[in-house]
Structure 1
Amino acid sequence: MIIASSIGSSNGHQLVDCLASDRKALIDFKSGLQDPDNVLSSWSGASCCECNNTGAVVSIDLHNPYNYWFQWSRVGLRNLSGEIRPSLMKLKSLRYLDLSFNTFNGSPIPEFFGSLENLKYLNLSHADFNGTIPPNLGNLSRLEVLDLEYLYNLDAGNLQWLSGLISLQHLITRGVDLSRATDWVDTINKLPFITELNLNDCGLHDYNPFLASLNFTSLAVIDLGRNYGLKMIPDWLVNISSMQYIDMSHCGLDGRIPLGLGELPNLVSLDLSSNHNLSASCSQLFRGRWKKIQMLDLSGNKLHGKLPSSLGNMTSLTHLDLWYNAVEGGIPSSIGKLCNLTYFDLGGNKIIGSLPEFLEGIQSCHSKSPLPNLKQFSLDDNQLVGKIPYWLGQLENLEELDLSNNHFAGIISETHFSKLTNLKSLYLASNSLTVNVSSNWIPTFQVQDLYMSSCILGPSFPTWLKSQKELINLDFSNASISSSIPKWFWDIYSNLQRLNLSHNQLQGQLPNPLLMSQMDYLDLSFNLLEGPINFENAIYYELLDLSHNHFSGHIPQNLSDSCSFLSLSNNHLSGEIPMSIGEMFQAEVIDFSRNEFTGRIPSSLANCSRLYALDLGSNNLFGTIPNSFGQLRQLRTLHLSNNQLSGKLPSSFINLSLLETMDLGNNQFSGDIPAWIGDGYSYLRILILRSNSFTGEIISDLSNLTSLQILDLGDNNLSGNIPASLGDLKAMVQEQRTNTYLQYGGRYSEEYYKESLVMNMKGMSLEYTKTLSLVTSIDLSGNNLSGRFPQELTTLSGLEILNLSRNHLTGNIPGSISNMHQLSSLDLSSNQISGAIPPSMSSLSFLEYLNLSNNNLSGAIPYTSQMTTFEATSYAGNLGLCGLPLPLKCPGDDDDPNKGASNEKNDGDDGIIDKWFYLSVGLGFAVGLLVPYMILAVKRSWSDVYFDFVDFIVFRLLVKIRKRRINRGRRNKLRHRQ
């Protein structure tokens, strides 16, 4: 072979001079290139190339061996660029051309490449070519390899030109846009020698899954991954016996996995991961021979059923990934036969039962030990129970073990780790395990990742941790540790990157200053730590959560400017919030709530332009809200409640168009409710302005808040009528059935600001967190509102809480109130409402709290259905009301003297029923243990009828008894009052 040059290569052969024409062509070609590192310096004069005895150039390799990842690195070489001159056409013998990993700045692929008729290898990958692929590339009938990988801006159009590449064996167009190439299957079928087809991430869709005749029978590698328009696995795929490698991951495939894939005799690797709707029965799928399969990735699909014992017959398997499917049942002990297995992931399934106590087939492995080559073993997020078997401690090559988020219980001893000398990552979090090791135990491993959240490690701080010198990530949260953090811990682990010791009972103080120079995640929340907070250098923190402790003193001045999550809530911190807080340019969550901060809100907070959540509630802040807050355009939730803030709301708030929560309650704000609140807040779910000094009328434009679920304007000085337009609040018209945990910000999925809210309902204050998104509420209590109860409000059939108490409302309760089906709390007390209580109110089956006291209501209380559950206090102060549960009878009530005797008789009947009921329960329990077995032994269908009948009888009996008891209790109360 004759070599022109290769970037970074200066080795040469003792060869004769090149042909003069080839030498001239190369010099001209070089003159068009920009060579910042002068790697082509040897291309000059007579020594421009090295040739063999023919004198012809057959190969040009100018790829950058350091590739584009290192193009600006001091280690690597900068890319070639410039013009590719047509003088290359004069190299008539050129068979190999590699220009990959250079930068040709969006130049089109030269059309004259189609004239290089002897070319067998063409690699233009990662070289920044743009434009249309020249169709005359199809003239290269001798071309065997065409690599256009990651030329993102190429326009391929159709692929008909490919049919001319009759010698093509390897086609690589990964990352090239082929979305318009609807004929790609038929075109590829015209390439009889094709062995590798890499069309990953090409935007393919609408392909022909059926072929009348199959011509590419030599195909060994097909990569169609990340083509989201491919809806099904083609039928012809299972007919290519030469197939070795298949990748159709991330394609959005539907349907069933063809069982024929397991019969392909040469298949080594199959990746169908992350298609989500691709299904198969495990018992059927793994029944196939899978003769040579080594890598099998079916994660992120809908595999179902139990793993069969035949799984152990796939003895060539090295990589098995079934993560996040719907696999059920237990783990077969036959996995012990998989002696070559290095990776095994069953996480995120429905695996139940316990791990097998022993594994089969261990003797067939060369080391006579279980799974001797296994490096990663993941069973997280399942429903496994029982103890951890000891054979796990015999996996000598294991590097990662993940059993987190299961129901394992029992003791973890030193034996469980006896031979895990290569262990680097251990995940046992969210189980019920107790670690019981001696105080002088020194583990055989040196882990980097140690996650044991919710395991019992305490009460003392684990001393065996001293030996772990390579720790990077440590999570001992909720681990029942109640001691102080020892000094040696801070000395040894100054290079930790992630530390979570939250939800323990840790005591004492932090080192002053705290030296953790590499730390980017520190969570010490929910402990008993005290004293000041002082960081010598917090520049690396991305998450800092010290909430729910007893820290005191001031906020440190040198908070990390890279911190995205900062929570110091629920402590005893005092002083002013420093202006330096505005230097946290990456902050997404800042929570300083429930402390003792004083002073004004620093205007510099407006510099934190990425803020999602800001909570300064329950402090002693005063002054006005800075007008600069309007710059926080990413803000989703704002809590400033329970302070001493005053003045008017800044008009710049209208810029906070993404706001979902505005909680400004319990302050001293004044003036009218701004009209702009009704404009531009299409995402606002929660608006709380209660317990301030707002005046004027409630603006009718609040009805424009289409997402509003909670409206609280209580305890202000608002006047006028309740706007009828509130009946148009769309989010309250229907029941909220989707529970979305309101949480914001944070780069770590488990560390978000979790929205919580204290609401006045059912006569008390209740805090909502996880179910907050399901709540719908209107509270206008404690104002000077007048006029009638708007009938339009009754269209809010999804409203759960309505409080209009302590106003001056008049008129009647509309009968259409029965349309408010979801109402669970209704407070109309201390108004001037008159007329009768609508009988339709008894149909409000979810109503749990009712207060109509201190009004001018009259007539009989509709004492039926749900209305029978309320006491007399719900109606107190209405002199015109009568009937149960009030002691005052209504005119015309039956005064029959024999009624009492009848009641006594009924009471006696109830007593007899009670006795027979309890007797029947005892007999039913005994009989119920025997009858099902007898019935099931005869016929299964009979058992279904039997149990349906029993359920019906028991239900009717319980309902009848409950109603009689309720009625008897009410009669006794009434007689007592009389």
Structure 2
Amino acid sequence: MERISILGFILAILYSITTELACNGHTHIGNNVQSEQKALIDFKSGLKDPSNRLSSWKGSNYCYWQGISCENGTGFVISIDLHNPYPRDNVYENWSSMNLSGEISPSLINLKSLKYLDLSFNSFKAMPIPQFFGSMKNLIYLNLSSAGFSGAIPSNLGNLSNLQYLDLSFKHPYDIDFEYSNHLFVENIEWMTDLVSLKYLSMSFVNLSLVGSQWVEVANKLPSLTELHLGGCSLFGSIPSPSFVNFTSLAVIAINDNEFNSKFPEWLLNVNNLVSIDISSSQLHGRIPLGLGELPNLQYLDLSLNFKLWGNISQLLRKSWKKIEVLNLFYNELHGSIPSSIGNFCNLKYLDLGENYLNGSLPEIIKGLETCSSKSPLPNLTELSLYDNQLMGKLPNWLGELKNLRTLDLSDNKFEGPIPASLGTLQHLETLYLPWNELNGSLPDSIGQLSQLQDLDVSYNHLSGSLPDSIGQLYQLQYLDVSSNHLSGSLPDSIGQLSQLQDLDVSYNHLSGSLPDSIGQLSQLQGLDVSYNHLSGSLSQQHFLKLSKLESLYMDSFHLNVSPN
């Protein structure tokens, strides 16, 4: 009996303690809820919201307010996502009307569990990044990209030791609207070495001219860094080699649009995890290292518009390039001929070697049948651009085997011979540029099979014969230029079926006969040039009434007359 009394006493005490803790806990949680709600209301009160995006920010259930996410069970705010849903590269009116602006209240400090903050693509015009952001030590994600902030980036952001994602970049660097351009700059970059958890860093078009070459050593001290974006940051001078390459996690480096005047940083060849390298338009010079082709994970390489990078394309493309998808070496000083081994690039989607000094002919055959699982060469290639080189010889039939090709640009070379009929098998082709070559023969009838073709330019060649009737089957065609050839015969009546055509240039040929009446059906036509031919007849006023979008018209006044009827 005594034991039962003691047990009852203990149970009573435990009940009392549990009840008290529960009550106190409930009070504590209630206080937290009030504190979190007040912090959000104070934050909202400082904002200007012309489109009323924050109309849901009322009532007590703030975890369901737009852009707010809470931790399950506690009511602590862990995420504020108020990025503009219409970034600037979308419809301007929508972007502008959805802008948040005004002041950012320091009440955000009271959100002790906040981990995610996104204010990107808004318009905090000329406002400095708030200093108190550096006190929000639980932040894992901070995105202030293209939000209108200006001035020096506060160094106390270095206090955010848990931060994994930091984006202070500007996504529209060439915007003429000064009001929304990026005026952020960094006076000293040493504070970044304290961001020991950082995986993603983007400061593109932030002015880093005051930090010199220090950015390399600083980035090298970030052990978890996976992506580094410093495009257009006014970096200059030589790209130094770090004392010890520690970029063990680095997969993406984009340091394009700078003014380095440097050789290619060969220490990148020791970073085996690299997936993407962009050092385009950055005044690099010297030889492109062959070791780039041996990086085991490289998928994207853009060294275009450096003007003075050089190398032998045959040697460069004979490397393995196991995973390469995008290879852009446009506008440099590459020389040599393209090897047949290029067909082994089974993952390649985009190849631009335009505006170099490539010579020789395209290989008669290319490898790939034995390498690629599709049993066809370059099975994923969508764009092939070899324009403005010194390539010669005939166009090989294997061009018609590039089944996924959307753009083929071989303009401004010395190609000769006929246009291969096999090009008609490229069912996905949207752009075909062959001007400024020495091609002869007629335009193949198979050209009419290119049902997706939008742009066709074969001007400044030696093509003869007549335009095939099949050209009227190119229902998506918007631009047709066959000028400066030796074409003869009449314009086919089928040309009136090109309902999307905006520009038609057949000038400087030997075309004869009358303009077909079907020309009047080209309701989208903006430019028409039929000058310097042997065309005759008249165009009625009705033709011109139908061509309501016509902006430019060039006719040989000696042979064509405009009839008033």
- TM-score, normalized by length of structure 1? 0.50
Alignment partner of 2:521 out of 468, 492, 495: 492
1:341-420 equivalence runs, <5 A: 341-356=381-396, 358-359=397-398, 370-414=401-445, 416-417=446-447, 419-420=449-450
Are 2:72 and 1:31 equivalent residues in the alignment? no
> Which SS does the other structure have where 1:197 is aligned?
strand
Once residues 239 and 468 of structure 2 are traced to their aligned partners in structure 1, the CA distance between those partners, rounded to angstroms, is 65
Shift of 1:334: 0.5
8 Å Cα contact 1:380-1:402 kept in structure 2? yes
| Per-residue deviation, residues 740-792 of structure 1 (Å, max 9, x unmatched) | xxxxxxxxxxxxxxxxxxxxxxxxxxxxxxxxxxxxxxxxxxxxxxxxxxxxx
**2:14 matched to which residue of 1?**
none
> Which residue of structure 1 aligns with residue 480 of structure 2?
450
Q: 1:83 aligns with which of 85, 88, 103?
A: 103
Does residue 200 of structure 1 match 2:239? no
Aligned position for 2:24: none
Q: State how far apart, in whole Å, the 2-side matches of 1:127 and 1:209 are.
A: 32
| 1:800-849 alpha-carbon deviations (Å, 9 max, x no partner) | xxxxxxxxxxxxxxxxxxxxxxxxxxxxxxxxxxxxxxxxxxxxxxxxxx
Q: Deviations over 1:101-128 (max 9, x none)?
A: 1111111000000000010000011110
Alignment match, 1:511? 540
> How many positions carry a matched residue from both structures?
509
- Contact 2:487–2:510, Cα closer than 8 Å, also in 1: yes
- Of residues 354, 369, 377, the one that matches 1:337 is 377
- What are the residue-to-residue correspondences of 1:419-818 with 2, within 5 Å? 419-436=449-466, 443=473, 446-489=476-519, 491-512=520-541, 514-515=544-545, 516-524=547-555, 528-530=559-561
- Whose relative contact order is higher, 1 or 2, with alpha carbons under 8 Å and at least 6 apart? 2
Deviations 1:924-955 (A, max 9, x none): xxxxxxxxxxxxxxxxxxxxxxxxxxxxxxxx
AA aligned opposite 1:307: I
- Secondary structure of residue in 1 paired with 2:441: strand
2: distance between equivalents of 1:134 and 1:23?
28
1:96 maps to 116
Q: 1:80 to 1:439 in 2, by over 3 A?
A: closer
SS in structure 2 at match of 1:215: coil
Residue 156 of structure 2 corresponds to residue 136 of structure 1? yes
1:224 aligns with 2:255: yes
Matches within 5 A, 1:176-191: 176-182=206-212, 183-191=214-222
- The aligned counterpart of 1:121 is 141
Aligned partners of 1:80 and 1:71: how far apart in 2? 17
Residue 280 of structure 2 corresponds to which residue in structure 1? 249
The alpha carbon displacement at 1:530 in A equals: 3.6
| CA deviation profile, 1:890-946 (whole Å, cap 9, x unmatched) | xxxxxxxxxxxxxxxxxxxxxxxxxxxxxxxxxxxxxxxxxxxxxxxxxxxxxxxxx
Q: Work out the CA distance in 2 between the residues paired with 1:186 and 1:406.
A: 49
Counterpart of 2:361 in 1: which secondary structure? coil
Q: CA deviation at 1:192?
A: 1.0
User: Which secondary structure does the structure 1 equivalent of 2:535 belong to?
Assistant: coil
SS in 2 for 1:19: helix
Could you list the runs of 5+ residues in structure 1 that have no partner in the other structure? 1-15, 361-368, 535-978
Rounded to whole Å, the distance in 2 between the matches of 1:425 and 1:439 is 17
Residue 315 of structure 1 pairs with residue 349 of structure 2: no
Q: CA deviation at 1:518?
A: 1.6
Residues 48-82 of structure 1 deviation map (CA, whole Å, 9 limit, x = unaligned): 33443112111001111012456862687421111
1:481 alignment partner, SS class: strand
Q: 1:87 to 1:523 in 2, by over 3 A?
A: same
Question: Contact between 1:72 and 1:78, CA under 8 Å: does it hold in 2?
Answer: no
Q: Which residue of 2 aligns with 1:239?
A: 270
Q: Distance in 2 between matches of 1:337 and 1:77?
A: 49
Identical counterparts, % of pairs: 45
Q: CA deviation at 1:264?
A: 0.3
2:306 to 270, 275, 286: 275
Secondary structure at 1:107's aligned position in 2? coil
1:299 paired residue number: 330
Under a length normalisation based on structure 2, what TM-score does the superposition of the two structures give? Answer: 0.85
Q: Alpha carbons of 1:438 and 1:178: their partners in 2 closer, same or farther (altered >3 Å)?
A: closer
Code of the aligned partner of 2:227 = E
Following TM superposition, by how much is the alpha carbon of 1:246 offset from its aligned partner in structure 2, in angstroms? 0.8
Per-residue deviation, 1:494: 3.2
2:182 corresponds to which of 152, 166, 187: 152
Superposition map of 1:869-884 within 5 A: none
Aligned pair in 2 of structure 1 residues 533, 108: CA closer, same or farther (>3 Å)?
Answer: farther
Kept in 2, the 8 Å contact 1:66–1:77? The answer is no
Give the SS at the match of 1:359: helix
Gaps of 5+ in 2: 1-29, 65-69, 171-180, 368-375
Matched position secondary structure for 2:50: coil
SS at match of 2:242: coil
Residue 376 (structure 1) shift: 1.0
Partners of 2:516 and 2:421 in 1: CA distance: 31
Q: Secondary structure at the match of 1:202?
A: coil
Secondary structure of the equivalent of 1:329?
Answer: strand
Q: What is the DSSP-based 3-state SS (H/G/I as helix, E as strand, rest coil) of the residue aligned with 1:385? A: strand
How far apart, in 1, do the equivalents of 2:408 and 2:90 lie? 34
Contact 1:413 1:436 in 2 (8 A): no
How far apart are 1:298 and its partner, in Å? 0.5
Structure 2 Cα separation of the partners of residues 70 and 433 of structure 1: 42
Cα pair distance change 1:532/1:465, threshold 3 Å:
closer
SS of the residue 1:162 aligns to: helix
Q: Deviations over 1:274-305 (max 9, x none)?
A: 11111110111111110000110111111101
Q: Which has the larger radius of gyration?
A: 1
The letter for the 1-side match of 2:412 is D
Q: Does 1:47 align with 2:79?
A: no
Letter in 2 for 1:217: T
SS in 1 for 2:77: coil
- Aligned equivalents of 1:216 and 1:533: distance in 2? 74
**CA distance 1:49–1:377, change in 2 (3 Å):** same
Find the residue that maps to 2:60 and give its secondary structure.
helix
Q: Secondary structure at the match of 1:180?
A: helix
Q: Distance in 1 between matches of 2:564 and 2:103?
A: 61
**8 A Cα contact 1:71 1:78, kept in partner:** no
Cα displacement string for residues 662-715 of structure 1 (whole angstroms, at most 9, x for unaligned residues) = xxxxxxxxxxxxxxxxxxxxxxxxxxxxxxxxxxxxxxxxxxxxxxxxxxxxxx
- The change in CA–CA distance for 1:47 and 1:501 in structure 2 (over 3 A counts) is same
3-state SS of the aligned residue for 1:141?
coil
Question: Letter of the aligned partner of 1:334 in structure 2?
Answer: I
Kindly indicate whether the alpha-carbon contact (under 8 Å) linking 1:70 and 1:77 is maintained by their aligned counterparts in 2: no
Three-state SS of the structure 2 residue aligned to 1:506 is strand
